[in-house]
Structure 1
Amino acid sequence: MRTRTATDEAILTLALPVADALDMEIVRIRVKSGKTQIVQIMAEKSDGTMNVEDCAKLSRGLSDVLEETDPIRGEYTLEVSSPGIDRPLTMPAHFERWEGFRAKLELDRMVEGQKRFSGQLAGFENNSVLMDLPKEDETALIPFDWIADAKLVLTEELIKADLAARGAPSGSDEASGDTP
């Protein structure tokens, strides 16, 4: 899920050593078509943070590699960002790390008449995402390989956890959106 196309995969192969050298993880890569293509790279440091300076460091390192190897035809714009609070979940470790939080999954196939599921993450086991779904007594096991897209749902609990990880008290003005 980190990539969708062969071009995304080629860029991931080039980006991984650059990110590793900076103690960062590539979360997702997407190349968006248009008059000028956009290469979107989401990354985070090993501690889960990613500030503007970190994005700039990764961008500079990737720019050099991408110019040298030229994996993209034509002009493009490179965008490096953090995954954000309601981040995509693209690797098994993400489902473990965010256990207990709400997520939305979209599958590549129909299961019990639907492709989209929303519920509370309950971990990852035997190459399956565990998810507690509303109105279901048992935890659902969703094969990781069936997931086309997954992301956290923005909730009050997620905002509080994000603020705590950044060292901001959950009752601060920042938490309520009130800034001086």
Structure 2
Amino acid sequence: MKARDGLVELLDPVVQGMGYELVGVEFDGHQRTLRVYIDRLEGITLDDCSAVSYQLSGVLDVEDPIPGRYQLEVSSPGMDRPLFTRAHFERFAGEVVRLQLNRPLEGRRRFKARLQGVEGDEILLQDEDKLIRIPYESIEKARLVPAFDH
């Protein structure tokens, strides 16, 4: 989480300065890929991704926050939008989400349920007739489930 926070701090001003929202950043250490998700109300085009990629490449080359070689990918969040912040969980309350935790909770690491919102440091999920409270810091990955997929 900490490394990702540093990347967000580095890249967010550049992305915002170009008129986009930085949705989030993921680094896949196995594939050596840095994924940067951008968005705006009008949607994202391939040209938008190319322009942001060009600007971010310059910043990343100068600041060199990731040792070694890696691939930079800039894209829209898509229909299975990743959720990175508490604000994202608040914004998409009522939607179905898929979560993966960094440690088991009630014997499970994966959940697919309706997001109820945020309460303090917990994300609230409604799984059929059961309310599940998940500590925010235990979430490894979270994505919206497209409407046609639930």
Confirm or deny that 1:39 pairs with 2:34.
yes
- Structure 1 runs (4+) deviating above 6 angstroms are none
% identical aligned pairs: 35
Bigger radius of gyration, 1 or 2? 1
Superposed CA RMSD in Å reads 2.5
Residues of 2 paired with 1:127 and 1:44: CA distance? 26
Partner of 1:85, secondary structure, is coil
Q: Which residue does 2:145 correspond to in 1?
A: 153
Q: Which residue does 1:176 correspond to in 2?
A: none
Q: In 2 relative to 1, CA 107–93 (structure 1 residues): closer, same or farther, beyond 3 Å?
A: same
Give the letter for the 1:37 counterpart. Answer: R
Q: In 2 relative to 1, CA 118–33 (structure 1 residues): closer, same or farther, beyond 3 Å?
A: closer
Residues of 2 paired with 1:11 and 1:95: CA distance? 21
The one of 51, 54, 58 equivalent to 2:48 is: 54
Matches within 5 A, 1:14-163: 14-33=10-29, 37-45=32-40, 47=41, 49-136=43-130, 139-156=131-148
Q: Deviations over 1:52-101 (max 9, x none)?
A: 22212211211111122223333332210111101111111111221211
Q: Following TM superposition, by how much is the alpha carbon of 1:9 offset from its aligned partner in structure 2, in angstroms?
A: 4.2
Give the letter for the 1:88 counterpart. Answer: P
Residues of 1 paired with 2:7 and 2:108: CA distance? 33
TM-score (ref. length: structure 1) = 0.71
Q: Following TM superposition, by how much is the alpha carbon of 1:102 offset from its aligned partner in structure 2, in angstroms?
A: 0.8
Structure 2 unpaired stretches of 5+: none
Residues of 1 paired with 2:45 and 2:63: CA distance? 27
Q: Following TM superposition, by how much is the alpha carbon of 1:20 offset from its aligned partner in structure 2, in angstroms?
A: 1.9
After TM superposition, the structure 1 stretch with the greater mean CA deviation from structure 2, 68-77 or 126-135, is 68-77
Which structure has more strand as a fraction of its residues? 2
Residues of 2 paired with 1:90 and 1:98: CA distance? 12
Q: Following TM superposition, by how much is the alpha carbon of 1:113 offset from its aligned partner in structure 2, in angstroms?
A: 1.9
Q: In 2 relative to 1, CA 96–33 (structure 1 residues): closer, same or farther, beyond 3 Å?
A: closer
Q: Following TM superposition, by how much is the alpha carbon of 1:145 offset from its aligned partner in structure 2, in angstroms?
A: 1.4
